[in-house]
Structures are given as structure tokens and as C-alpha cells.
Amino acid sequence: MTNVYLLFGLGNPGMEYVFTRHNIGFRVIDELARRCGVKLRQTMREALSVQTSLAGQKVVLACPLTYMNRSGVAAKVLLRHYSLDAAQLLIFYDDLDLPLGRLRLRPAGGSGGHRGMQSLIGLLATQNFPRLRLGVGREKLAGGDLAGEKAVADYLLAPFSAAEEEIVHDAVSRAAAAAELYLREGMEAAMNRCNPAPD
């Protein structure tokens, strides 16, 4: 096991998905790459990635090319390639059950019904890896908690509105800052900073 962290955003490849709710995890990786002054490139069939340093740690920034429901395939390949343990992952992904703009960092946990996380947990055979959920909310989802599977899928694959984008931009920036704090000071310090509702 090497002293490297894999920062892994969940989303779908392709320009048509860039600004959708489901791709907010990719946007955090893009922001981290911007802060590091690097660009992701296709180094293997399953992902775009780049090796760099962040907050004094060696990191690999990555976005899978496998589509959301097969995210675990790319994560497993990257972990094996860099000789990493699942505990060295930090996953960024969308969460319907958090209000838009809220963040929730946790050291482990279940999938919460998220297909990308189900793939990761299934293929890695563990729930014990850190994850940072970014709220995309159900506020504008027709039917709310009672919405059917197709309505939920359509909602997640729709772009944020212009009014939502300002909140999303701030959430992505705070998520990137939380990742830096996690790498620099550890999980507890990062959780204490990012999990409370923003002022």
C-alpha cells in the first residue's frame, strides 16, 4: 500500500452530461485539477486521470469513463494500478436526499440507493471508504419522495437551472476545500468544517 490518495468523482462521460445533477462529482474533480494546474487525460480505457500533489499529499484525480452504473469497474482498475487500498479513496457524488448545496463527508457507509455507489461497494467488496456527498435536492422533483424511478432518472440527468448554478458553484468550491482539509488534517477536521449547513 502506497501513500497516495485516489480522489474519484462519479458521473457520466460525454458533453451532454457535463452540467447535469448526476455529474456534480466530476465537477469537483475538475475544480481540484484547476487548483493543481493540471488536466485529466485518458491514461487507461476506464478513466480520465492525472497524478499530482494536493495539500502536501500525492493524489490521483480521476473520473470514470464507464458510466455511472459501472463506476466500480474504473475504481477497481485504478486502485489496482496504483497499488491502493479502498480506504485511500475519496468519492464525490450527488445526493438527492441532501438539500441543494449541502455537503456531507463520511468515512464509510452504504450506497443510499445511489447506483454508482452500489457499483463501487459491490466491486470493491467493502463500504469502508470515505465519501463526500453533494446535495442536489428533491425540491423540484415532481412527486418528491414518491417520484418513480424514471422521474428520478430524468431529474438527475437534467441540467441545473441558472438560479441553481450559483449554489452549485459554491458547493463544488467548498467540496474541493474539504478534500484539501481532509488530506492536510484528517477526516474529523474536514467533517467538522464541511458538514454543518453553510451560513
Asked whether the CA dihedral 131, 132, 136, 139 is positive or negative, the reply is positive
For 41, how many CA atoms within 13 A lie in the half-sphere containing its CB? Answer: 5
Contact 163, 121 (CB under 8 A): no
Q: Which residues of 63-100 are buried (b: 16+ CB within 10 A; e: fewer)?
A: bbbbbbebbbbbbbbbbeebebebebbbbbbbbbebeb
The verdict on whether 22 is a catalytic residue reads yes
Contact 68, 10 (CB under 8 A): yes
Q: What single letter denotes the amino acid at residue 13? A: P
Q: Which residues are catalytic?
A: 22
